[in-house]
């Protein structure tokens, strides 16, 4: 019964956490748009594989991480830098003006989707403080029990929740974009990097507010 509760709590937290627009979601949408559903599933398997082991690690070291603000601060700052770099990579090749097709960015086609998912989520440092905070809260509130093998039920639930949440996000927005006239050409070309840059700006604002504004 406790394992089932762990599974359900992990699923709900991760599902809700993966639905808002983040850079993994945007890349997943781009992968689906350019390479189809099998590539998307492979990409998501890479994403949740990294997340599975990351959450196991944060469960063991959650309180230690919270007590070392400099490490959390560095992780948050690096995540902003990587989002900007990914946004800029979308502009490595121009859109094909003759056909109206959007040429895929180098990093999307240079590696198999599984490897891409593993790599991009491995550098998704913002999830470290996210999961550290959630794990501490859920444990202190007695919403999950992570003794022995029961922690694996919780982590499995988070993996299924992330996979499901990003999949729902991608399928929803893909249908939305297909109904938008003219989206598939120049608008699509500028949409993905623009959203990435907005996400980076939002993360930078939160970073400043958390670490500097509160001190003033």
67-119: per-residue pLDDT in tens? 666 766 776 676 677 667 766 765 554 444 333 344 345 556 678 999 999 98
pLDDT of residue 105: 54
Give the angle subtended at the CA of 41 by the CAs of 122 and 23, to the nearest 5°: 45
Q: Are 23 and 195 in contact (CB under 8 A)?
A: no
pLDDT of residue 99: 35
Using alpha carbons, select from 105, 73, 67, 74 the residue that is nearest to residue 87. 105
What are the residues whose beta carbons fall under 8 Å from the beta carbon of 206, sequence distance 6 or more?
none
pLDDT confidence bin for 188, thresholds 50/70/90: low
126-140: per-residue pLDDT in tens? 777 778 777 877 777
Using alpha carbons, select from 170, 156, 183, 179 the residue that is nearest to residue 40. 170
Residue-range definition of the domain harbouring residue 165: 2-215
Domains of the chain: total: 1
pLDDT confidence bin for 21, thresholds 50/70/90: low
**For the whole prediction, is pTM greater than 0.75?**
no
Q: What is the mean pLDDT of the chain?
A: 76
């Amino acid at each position: 019964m406790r394992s089932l509760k762990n599974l359900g709590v992990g699923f709900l937290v991760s599902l809700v956490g993966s639905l808002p627009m983040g850079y993994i979601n945007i890349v997943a949408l781009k992968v689906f748009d350019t390479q189809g559903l099998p590539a998307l599933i492979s990409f998501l398997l890479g994403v949740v594989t990294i997340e599975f082991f990351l959450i196991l690690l944060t469960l063991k070291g959650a309180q230690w991480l919270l007590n070392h603000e400099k490490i959390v601060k560095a992780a948050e700052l690096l995540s902003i830098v990587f989002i900007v770099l990914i946004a800029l990579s979308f502009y490595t090749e121009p859109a094909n003006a003759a056909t109206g097709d959007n040429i895929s960015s180098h990093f999307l086609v240079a590696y198999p989707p599984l490897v891409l998912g593993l790599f991009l989520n491995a550098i998704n440092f913002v999830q470290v403080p996210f999961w550290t905070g959630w794990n501490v809260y859920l444990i202190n509130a007695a919403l999950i029990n992570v003794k022995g093998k029961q922690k694996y039920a919780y982590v499995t639930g988070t993996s299924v929740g992330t996979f499901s949440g990003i999949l729902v996000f991608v399928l929803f927005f893909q249908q939305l974009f297909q109904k938008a006239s003219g989206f598939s050409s120049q608008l699509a070309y500028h949409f993905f990097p623009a959203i990435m840059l907005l996400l980076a700006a939002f993360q930078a604002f939160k970073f400043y507010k958390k670490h500097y504004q509160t001190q003033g």
